[in-house]
């Protein structure tokens, strides 16, 4: 039985070219980038080239890119780094109720340390209200952290409008772009973004590597202490092979971005068309138009997450939900609860997310298997 992976929003397979480049780098480049001899200089050159590629991909400058161990560290560094450096100016943070836990748990930790956090609500489509953001801004607001595109339902926030709203305010604007990077067109200058988090393993790069963009002039208190790597901003010898793999993944993502958007949109339409043709009752969660093209979140009345995921897995289809499923109990996704409240829809929604190696034939199978499973569970 063919295994079909439609959980690319959780993690993605490494691209063959990425694997090749990581392997070659591991084989031939073992120097420490901080060493001044030829081995070190060669390693340093790999970092410099990668930094240049990543900076260009978001319209930033090379010295504004800090390599991290992934999206979680990038989010944590942005949030703790700013809050510790700006404590004297205020202790108020604004975020949303649907952020990734790397942001939410960081904010909760800061609340224990005396910071005040405003959690913006979202509408039934998962989007914030710009007026609520405007009304929440205060003189002592030091950070606004709002995700670019949601990892569970795909809804994209009005990032440019948020950037415009904040450009004359002293608060720093950070966005977690982990799910949007590589598929959306991002320009930190045009969108007035001060800090932005990215993770490699979402775009067919290696796990354990990412970057944080920090606009020049913004001071972050370091969170790791040791050497003077990353211009004294992030201690620790850089992961050179992974950085090379990440760079390759970024280059491929940039080249294929528009074609991928079209393909993934087609996949969405194929699955929905099969469901409609077979009179399956479903509701699409999140915005239909202003949404990440590779994320499709559907609610199926009369089913439940656990049974759906088990049946899909038995059919060779790997999908997911935003829920933390344990035997006998399901904790509804905080994103869906924020959108709909504590209703049945939060317990019967499945996320399908597309990426490398997916085909139209696979999408047809996903659609038809879904029809079978839903009939089995609801009749």
Amino acid 328: pLDDT: 47
**Where does CATH 3.90.1150.10 sit in the chain?**
4-11+257-378
Can you give the three-state secondary structure of 285-306, one letter per residue? ECCCCCECCCEEEEECCCCCHH
83 is catalytic: no
**Secondary structure of the chain: what % helix, strand, coil (to 5)?**
45, 15, 40
In sequence order, what DSSP letters do the residues of 169-222 get, joined into one string? Answer: SSSEEEEE-TTTBTTB---TTTTT-SEEEEEGGGTTS-TT-EEEEE-TT-----
pLDDT along the chain (379 residues), means of 10: 95 98 97 96 97 98 98 98 96 98 98 98 98 98 98 97 96 98 98 98 98 97 94 94 98 98 98 98 95 98 94 97 56 93 93 98 98 94
Amino acid 326: pLDDT: 43
Cα separation of the two ends of the chain: 26
CB-CB contact of 212 with 224 (8 Å):
no
CB-CB contact of 70 with 120 (8 Å):
no
From 3.90.1170.50, 3.40.640.10, 3.30.56.10, 3.40.50.2300, which CATH number describes the 16-252 domain?
A: 3.40.640.10
H or E stretch covering 130: helix 130-136
pTM value is 0.96
Taking only Cα atoms into account, the Rg of the chain, rounded to an integer number of angstroms, comes to: 21
Amino acid 342: pLDDT: 87
Amino acid 332: pLDDT: 87
CA atoms within 13 A on the CB side of 294: 30
Give, in degrees to the nearest 5, the angle at Cα 13 between 9 and 17.
130
**Where does CATH 3.40.640.10 sit in the chain?**
16-252
Amino acid 329: pLDDT: 53
Amino acid 32: pLDDT: 95
Instruction: Print burial letters for 200-212: b (CB count within 10 Å at least 16), e (below 16).
Output: bbbbbbbbebbbb
Amino acid 1: pLDDT: 86
Amino acid 327: pLDDT: 43
Give, in degrees to the nearest 5, the angle at Cα 377 between 342 and 124.
30
Q: What pLDDT, in 10s, does the model give residues 326-376?
A: 444 568 899 999 999 989 999 999 999 999 999 999 999 999 999 999 999
By DSSP bridging, strand 195-199 and strand 210-214 are: antiparallel
At the second CATH level, the architecture of 4-11+257-378 is: Alpha-Beta Complex (3.90)
Q: Provide the 10 A C-beta neighbour count for residue 110.
A: 19
Give the residue carrying structure tokens 């409609």: 276
Task: Give the contacts of 165 (CB within 8 A, at least 6 positions apart).
Answer: 130, 133, 134, 137
DSSP assignment letter at 342: S
CA atoms within 13 A on the CB side of 261: 15
Give the residue carrying structure tokens 């988090």: 197
CB-CB contact of 218 with 3 (8 Å):
no
Amino acid 379: pLDDT: 84
Which residue among the candidates 26, 130, 224, 325 is catalytic per the annotation? Answer: 325
């Amino acid at each position: 039985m063919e295994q079909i992976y439609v959980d690319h929003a959780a993690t993605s397979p490494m691209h063959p070219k990425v694997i090749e480049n990581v392997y070659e780098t591991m084989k031939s480049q073992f120097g420490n980038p901080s060493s001044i001899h030829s081995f070190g200089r060669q390693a340093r050159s790999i970092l410099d080239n990668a930094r240049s590629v990543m900076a260009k991909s978001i319209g930033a400058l090379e010295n504004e890119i800090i390599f991290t161990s992934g999206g979680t560290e990038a989010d944590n560094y942005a949030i703790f780094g700013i809050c510790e450096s700006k404590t004297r100016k205020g202790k108020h943070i604004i975020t949303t109720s649907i952020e990734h836990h790397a942001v939410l748990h960081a904010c909760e930790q800061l609340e224990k340390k005396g910071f005040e956090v405003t959690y913006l609500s979202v509408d039934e489509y998962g989007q914030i209200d710009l007026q609520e953001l405007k009304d929440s801004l205060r003189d002592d607001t030091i950070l606004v952290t709002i995700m670019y595109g949601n990892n569970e339902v795909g809804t994209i926030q009005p990032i440019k409008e948020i950037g415009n709203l904040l450009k004359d305010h002293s608060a720093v604007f950070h966005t977690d772009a982990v799910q949007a990077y590589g598929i959306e067109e991002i320009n930190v200058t045009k969108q007035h973004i001060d800090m932005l988090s990215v993770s490699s393993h979402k775009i067919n790069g290696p796990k354990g590597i990412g970057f944080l963009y920090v606009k020049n002039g913004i001071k972050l208190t370091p969170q790791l202490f040791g050497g003077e790597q990353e211009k004294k901003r992030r201690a620790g010898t850089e992961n050179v092979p992974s950085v090379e793999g990440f760079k390759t993944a970024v280059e491929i993502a940039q080249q294929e971005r528009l074609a991928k958007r079209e393909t993934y949109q087609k996949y969405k339409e194929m699955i929905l068309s099969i469901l409609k043709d077979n009179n399956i009752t479903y509701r699409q969660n999140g915005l239909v138009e202003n949404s990440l093209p590779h994320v499709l979140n559907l609610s199926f009345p009369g089913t439940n997450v656990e049974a759906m995921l088990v049946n899909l897995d038995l059919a060779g289809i790997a999908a997911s939900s935003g829920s933390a499923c344990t035997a006998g109990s399901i904790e509804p996704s905080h994103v869906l609860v924020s959108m709909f409240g504590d209703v049945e829809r939060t317990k019967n929604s499945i996320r399908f997310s597309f990426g490398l190696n997916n085909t139209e034939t696979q999408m047809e199978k996903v659609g038809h298997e879904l029809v079978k499973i839903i009939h089995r569970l609801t009749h």
